Each structure stands twice: as structure tokens, then as C-alpha cells.
Amino acid sequence: MAGKSKVLIIGGTGYIGKFIVEASVKEGHPTFALVRESTVSDPVKGKVIENFKNLGVQLLYGDLYDHESLVKAINQVDVVISAVGNFQLADQVKIIAAIKEAGNVKRFFPSEFGNDVDRVHAVEPAKSAFALKAQIRRTIEAEGIPYTYVPCNCFAGYFLPTLAQPGATAPPRDKVVVLGNGNAEAVFNNEVDIGTYTIKAVDDARTLNKILFIRPPKNTYSFNELVALWEKLIGKSLEKTYVSEEQLLKQIQESPIPMNVVLAISHSIFVKGDHTNFEIDPSFGYEASELYPDVKYTTVEEYLSRFV
């Protein structure tokens, strides 16, 4: 156990944060979670915190908006991982300021966990959301803080149970809507694996000041291939409706929040192919399943099989 970095997760009770906290413990890191005192009594998040305690996670009481508590928490660790949600992305400058003041952090992972924001071709309103994450990257770099960025592409739990069909609660059995021509390749990763790969990078010199792309070959599918896989699993053909890029752009403009954001992100992923339309070069990053071949990741086929 000796020699493993102490890890602080900020936003650990959130959607992806829970998986990162659990992976950190499992990988043998002394694991800390920054929590607000009010969160402990929250009916839903209170249960998450109970689970953290049972795992041996050390809770540090503090708040993103309380600079002193942030510095105090950061002083106790080596690595800081932010998993804050969309509404707090811009406020990560507060974490950056606290890391700068503490002066002891070996690595910072800002809240990414989506597309690689420096390599997207997005339209509004997704464009601004991605630009915000890119701005956080530039601030980290300007401050000289050591970093790793982890674009994990699609959360399997968000996209696969419905095959990315808006408003659906189960995978389609009769009809399916395909955006664009369905040939752009996207990547779908199980949240447990996202947590594991993120933590694997913590003490890995290869990922220092680099991007860790989670793009395993068995989880990379065009939408047409994804539909074909699902058809194979259920032994039935679906009726397909193709939505042209032009139609989709019109829908984005006419939809209310948050539907317009969801559609704009889908446009980036499924029409522009922003997960896979570039080569990963060692000058800026590495692919996780290549760096960590020992991780037995859940494949898209295994994941979808649960819903048959």
C-alpha cells in the first residue's frame, strides 16, 4: 500500500464521482472526499456518504465556495480529482486557486468526463459548455499546475439503456431514430471502468500533463453498428428513421433547455463523430485500454445484453 498517492475527490457524491471514489479505494489509495455538512443529512446523498464511510473513505468537511476549507483539505493530499457537475464547472477556478495556494499537489484532474473539449465541432448550446471546460484547461496550464485530462466519451449508463433515444425509458423494440447517416463512430464506457481508468492514471508518469482518452476498441461503434448489435441480441429488426443533420440543427434551435443541450451534444457525438474523428498522438495523450491492458472493461455488447 505504501507509496500510493493520497487522493481527494471533489464532487464525489455526484453521478461519476461515486465511481471514482470507489475505484480509488479499490486501487489502494488513501481516499478523501470533500463533503458539505448539509450533504450528510440529505436523504439520497447521505446514503452515498454512508457507503463511503463503510469503504474507509476519509470525509473532509468543506465547500467549493469556502477557500480556507478547500486549502485545508488539499493540504492533506497529493492528487485532486474534480467531478463537479455542469453548473459548477466554471467554479473550478476556486479549486485551482486553492491548489496554487496549498502548493503540494502533484496532479489535478479537472471535471471532464465527456468529449475531448479541444477537439470538438459542436454547435450551441453545447459549444459554450465545451468552451467552459477548455477554459479551465487553459487556466490550469497557465498556472503551471500538473494535470491529467480524462475525456471518457459517453457514459454507458446514460446512453445505452435507451440506445440514446430521447425520452425513452428502455431500449427500443420496434422503431429507432438514427441521427445523421449513422456512420460516425462513438464510444460508450461503463462508469465503473471510467473510475478505474481515471485512478490508474493518478501515479502514472506517462499521463502527467497529458490526456487520457477512454476509447477501448470493443466500445467504439457507429450508431448503425450499435443498432445492428441490439437487433442481433433481440433477434429482431427495427424500423429506422434517419434524421438529417439539417433537420437536427433545426430541432436544436427550436428545442427548450435542457433538450437543446442534449441534442447539441448528440450532434457532436453522432453526426460529427467527435469521439473518434482524430488520431490519438503521444505528443498529447494516450488511450486507456492500451496503457492499462490488465483492466477487464465491460464491453458494449456485455452491457446491452443485460437489457435483452
Which residues are part of the catalytic machinery?
A: 133
Question: How many beta carbons lie within 10 A of that of residue 37, not counting itself?
Answer: 10
Rounded CA-CA distance 150/2 in Å is: 25
C-beta neighbour count of 287 within 10 angstroms: 16
Nearest one of 44, 50, 13, 7 to 199, comparing CA atoms: 7
CB atoms within 10 A of CB 192: 16
What pairs with residue 109 in β-bridges?
81
Q: Decide: 200 and 295 in contact? Cβ < 8 Å.
A: yes
Grid cell in block for residue 38: 448539509
Tell me the three state secondary structure of residue 43: coil
Q: 283 pairs with which residues across the strands? A: none
The 10 Å Cβ neighbour count of residue 228 is 15
Q: Where are the alpha helices (DSSP H) in the chain?
A: 17-26, 37-40, 45-55, 67-74, 92-102, 126-142, 156-159, 191-200, 223-234, 245-254, 259-266, 288-291, 300-305
CA 23 to chain centre: 14
Which residue, among 84, 27, 85, 99, has the nearest Cα to 57 in the 3D structure?
A: 27
CB-side exposure of 160: number of CA atoms within 13 Å?
28
Residues 6+ apart with CB under 8 A from 78: 5, 6, 7, 104, 105, 106, 107
